[in-house]
Structures are given as structure tokens and as C-alpha cells.
Chain A
């Protein structure tokens, strides 16, 4: 009986290992997305400015617009996206099991997540450069890590944030007590209820959270930056077609900003390029000449589709994190290289 049972289990597991796997042989996930006509995009759904729920039940934010740009490029319609709200813990499993096609969820690009020996993901270019910081109440008078010796610090568990906090304090040999929460909103609540002297998260998130406080001015973000947090969209590894397409969608967003092509002027630029055969690079970029899109497995006019639906990177940024948005964060590093930022797109040739 037991023998039979164990045989059955082994057989079943062999069968499953044969049938499991994110993509069937040779068929890229990109083909699957195009056949399905819908992009499954993993998002957080809980980060102000990046992805959150509107009162009418739709999602909005920078991460969401990245999904939309991808859908516009892959399928040709930016509204054919299914958003899957995911927690930090389950995001990579969801990618691996194929439940989502791409992950656009404030995910830090680092070695262990990228490598085969780690999570084995493939990252697209960074869409937001962040860094971890600490926020304290102004009245506490604290303005350096040293002064936090022995204090409680609120932190989200299972994230790189928790690790960075630990690394930074251990390096400086400062004792502290981490109070761990499931997600950022709970961290904020814990901090506001006075359960800890400081809260830590990426500086963008601290700023976002602070803008919602009753008295935003009575909280300060410390000067010290504990980490680099380059946030990037990702796909399950080993699918060159999909990861190439993702990479160049992001680059197209940067390149469009660099060339001053935006949602408002895309049609006139297109007309102009159509009538003027000397604008070779513009014609190539907009898909009038050459086969840039086809090489990626997309339509040649994919850039036009992206810009029409979301605008260039600068427009996306302004919409969700700009001066007039509800979560203003200065652009700083998150600008194209010509304006002193870190974003540079290789030539679209």
C-alpha cells in the first residue's frame, strides 16, 4: 500500500515537473500576450504615486503607466491590461508561475534577483532611481542615525528595505529594534501611532506617505541615504524576445522625451516626418522607415502607440510625481542625461 502510494507520488511529481515551466518550448511569452490580446501586469496597488486604486475602481500611477506603455507597444491598445495586485512576498512566484507576464511593482534591481542562482528574473531598464531613507518627527530633534541608538524603527518585512536597515545599523554598530509590518501603509500607521521613533522606506515612499499626513511639515526625512534603490520592471528570465521588447519600450519612453516628442505633438511630428524624407532618424523612430519594431516582434509604429497612450517618460513622471501631482518628488536623478539625470537611451537604430 505504502509502496504503491509513494510510487504514485513520484510518478505524479515527475509528470508535473515535465508539464510545469513558464513558457512552452520556443514560444515566447510575447507571442502569448499578443495572441491573448491582453497583458497581465503585476502591480502593488498600494503605493501612492506609483500604483493605487481610484474611486472608480481603476488603477493609476507611474508603475501602471509602464504597464500601459507595454500593452500599447505589444498589443496596440493600452487599455488591454489586467492588473494583478501582488504583495512583496508573492510577486516573484507570480512571475515564475506565469500568472503575470510582467512585473511593474517598485522592484529593486539587484544581483540576486537578476541571476540564475537567485530569482532568475530579467530586468528592464530602471524607471525610477530611489534610495532608502528614514523619517522622524521634527519635534524629536533627531538628525542622524547615531541619535536613533536603541530606538524602535518601523519597517516593512520581507523587502530589501529591512535588509538595508540592518546592514546600515550594523555597519555603524548602532543597536536598534525593528518593528516589522506587512506593508507600507501599516508602517505609516505604526509610525503615526507613535510605536516607533522613525520609519524607514524608500525616500519616494516616505515623501508620498508624508504628503498625506495631517501635518506634513512636522516630519523630516534624514539626510542619510541608506541604499541605492533602482526600481525596474521585470519579466521571468530566459525569454529574450519579451525582455528585449520590454527594454526598448522603456528606452523609447526616454528617447521620446529627449527628442521632445509628447502626447500633444505626436500627430504633427508624425505628419512632418511623413512628408519630409530627410528626417531619417525621426522616421525610423516613428516607424515610417526601417523595421525597428519588427525586429523586436512588435509593430513598426510601436513608439507612436506608446506616446499616444501614455506620453513620454517626462509626461508620465509629471502626471504622477510632478510638482502639481499629489505626491510631488523632485526629479533629481530621474531625468534624462541632458538635464542632469541618469536616464539615457541607446540609439534606436
Chain B
């Protein structure tokens, strides 16, 4: 029996990788290359790399320059986030939990802001002291939350029959899509303060969040437009026959389906957004990438670029993967009714 399976494996391998001379040659070269690079990478990771730069600075990567005594606040928030993610992914089938999970996720945002920024009896911590992974997550989450409704409004506005609204939305979307993100960010960070009256200061973090939101909203609007157009006209007609008002039709029939269709591309936007927050490092915010660049100037860690950047790649990968898993889960949940 065992012999049998082994020989089928060999057969399979032979068929797929070594069926003729050219095939064998390509396969051999590729296999040698893959094995060689894997060996090189693992031996570097184990023997050459000096991971002390990562292990000694875990709190720096997570919290940045956040006051030491208040570390428990972002820590608590991150733990709740992780916990919520686990519940959502593994235990959400249970009836009671299912009802409250969306509420819990929405609640996470004000809770996080209060925990990190202060208020309700907690000492206020100015946003310029936020940093590291915490700041990256705050930027991503807040910018997505603000841009999503904005995107819906723009997408609907673009379909509007009123000319002014339709044109205004279209111009906004076209302009935002034609400008590179970095230009929008530069505008937000360097030009906006020039226009503001003296004494009125909008914090850099808030300016960054707003710039990201305004930019991403245009893309979200386009993603949603795709969703909206995927819904057959007959549904609207059927709805109006059944006596639904246009607003009800939009709210109960068209939008839910459109959003569901658009979820994969919306996830794309959020993941892109998370990675784009690293652009703020060149604009002086000490988010995940910024903090790493500052750390690399510490005389104790000069020259350990590879270690730091490999670690960063891993962190970004981990966060993005979690987000992708969550979105796939959401997609499944929403298709539940459709069977």
C-alpha cells in the first residue's frame, strides 16, 4: 500500500516537473535556486542577524514615544483588538455573540480614542506623542471610518440626476484620483498650516487622517459605483412596484447588495491604506516606519537595517493578513442569507 502511494507521488512529480528534457532542466534550476535562497535566508536569520535591535525595542515599535507610565492604555486597546479578532474569526457562529460583534467593533473606535488620547478621567496625551504600531493602526482605522460614509455619499452623488451634485461629485473623484497620494499628504502637512489663522493648530495626526480620508473616499466611491452598477435595474423597478420609496429602495435593497459586492475591493483599499500610512514617515510622523528609521540612528543599532526592515515586513504582513481574513469572514457572513 505504502509502496503504491509512493510510486504515485513519484509518477506525479515526474509528470509535472520532469516530463521532458527542457522541463527537467527548468525544474532542476528552479529547485536549486529555491533551496539555495532558503538556506541563505535561514542561515542569515539564525546566525548572522542581530535581533537584539528588535527584542530590545518592542515597546518602541508598538507605542513610539508614548509616555511610559501610560503604556497600559494602548496595550489594553491592542489586546481588546486581538481578542475581538479571534472571537470574530473562530467563535462568531454562536447566536448571542454574533449579534454583538458588529457593535463591539464599532465601539472599539471611540474606546481606542479615549484610551489613547485621554478623556473621561484619563490624562490627555497629545497626538504628537502617539507612535509606532499604535499610530499606524489609528491612522488606518480612523481614515477608513471617515472615508467610508464619504465614499458612499460620493458614489450616490455621482448617480444623482441633479446636475450640480452629479458634476461636483464627479469632479471631486476625478481630481482626487488624478493627484498622487503623496501630493495630498504634503498639501495636508505643509500647506494647510500656512492657510490657517495663527493660534488655530490642527494636529499633524488629524491632518494626516483627513488627507488620507479625502483621498481614499474617491477610490471607495468608485468601488461602490461598481457595486451599484452590478445591481440589475429590475430590482429597483420591482421595489417601486411593491411601494418602496426611492430612499427605502436605496437603503434596504440597493446599497446592502452594492456594499457586499464591493467588499473585496474595499478590503483592498483598507490594506492599501495601511501600507500607505508608511508614507507619513517621510513627513515626520513616527509611525511604524518612522520609528524604525529613528531607531536606526541610535549608535547602539547603527547598521542593523536588514533586521529592522525584515521585522517591519513581517509586522505589516501580519496586520494585513489579519485584515484580509476578517474581510473574508465578513463577506461570508453577508452572503449567509443568499445560501
Q: Which residues of B contact A53 (CB under 8 A)?
A: 60, 65, 286, 291, 294-295, 297-298
Interface residue? A76 (CB, 8 A): no
Q: Which of A19, A21, A46, A214 lies in contact with B297, CB distance below 8 A?
A: A46
Interface residue? B63 (CB, 8 A): yes
Q: Which residues of B contact A184 (CB under 8 A)?
A: 297
Beyond A212-B302, A214-B303, whether A45 also contacts B190 by CB under 8 A is no
- A45–B297 CA distance with the chains assembled, in angstroms: 8
Interface residue? A140 (CB, 8 A): no
Interface residue? A90 (CB, 8 A): yes
- Beta-carbon contact of B305 and A98 below 8 Å: no
Q: Which of B56, B131, B199, B293 lies in contact with A57, CB distance below 8 A?
A: B131
- A211–B297 CA distance with the chains assembled, in angstroms: 11
- Beta-carbon contact of B294 and A52 below 8 Å: yes
- Beta-carbon contact of A85 and B299 below 8 Å: no
Interface centre among B64, B128, B197, B303 (most CB of A within 10 A): B303
Q: Which residues of B contact A192 (CB under 8 A)?
A: 303
A185 to chain B, nearest CB (A): 5
- Beta-carbon contact of A90 and B189 below 8 Å: yes
Interface residue? A84 (CB, 8 A): yes
- Beta-carbon contact of B198 and A57 below 8 Å: no
Interface residue? A208 (CB, 8 A): yes
- A62–B290 CA distance with the chains assembled, in angstroms: 21
Interface residue? B183 (CB, 8 A): no
Contact with A along B256-299 (1 / 0, CB 8 A): 00000000000000000000000000111010001101111111
- A94–B186 CA distance with the chains assembled, in angstroms: 12
Interface residue? B47 (CB, 8 A): no
- Beta-carbon contact of A213 and B300 below 8 Å: no
Size range of the interface on A? Answer: 35 or more
Interface residue? B235 (CB, 8 A): no
Interface residue? B118 (CB, 8 A): no
Helix, strand, loop or mixed for chain A's interface? Answer: loop
Contact with B along A40-55 (1 / 0, CB 8 A): 0000111111011111
- Beta-carbon contact of A48 and B60 below 8 Å: no
- A22–B297 CA distance with the chains assembled, in angstroms: 31
- Beta-carbon contact of B294 and A87 below 8 Å: no
- A211–B131 CA distance with the chains assembled, in angstroms: 28
Interface residue? B162 (CB, 8 A): no
- A52–B282 CA distance with the chains assembled, in angstroms: 16
Of chain A, the residue at the smallest CB distance from B56 is: A55
27 cross-chain CB contacts under 8 A = A19-B196, A20-B195, A46-B294, A48-B297, A48-B302, A49-B299, A51-B297, A52-B297, A52-B298, A52-B299, A53-B60, A53-B65, A55-B56, A55-B57, A56-B60, A87-B282, A90-B283, A96-B194, A99-B201, A182-B282, A185-B293, A188-B302, A212-B301, A212-B302, A213-B302, A214-B303, A327-B299
| Additional pairs, 6, CB under 8 Å, beyond known A87-B282, A211-B299 | A46-B294, A53-B294, A55-B298, A87-B283, A94-B284, A212-B301
Give B contacts to A, CB under 8 Å. 56-57, 59-60, 63-66, 68, 126, 128, 131, 189-190, 193-199, 201, 204, 282-284, 286, 290-291, 293-303, 305
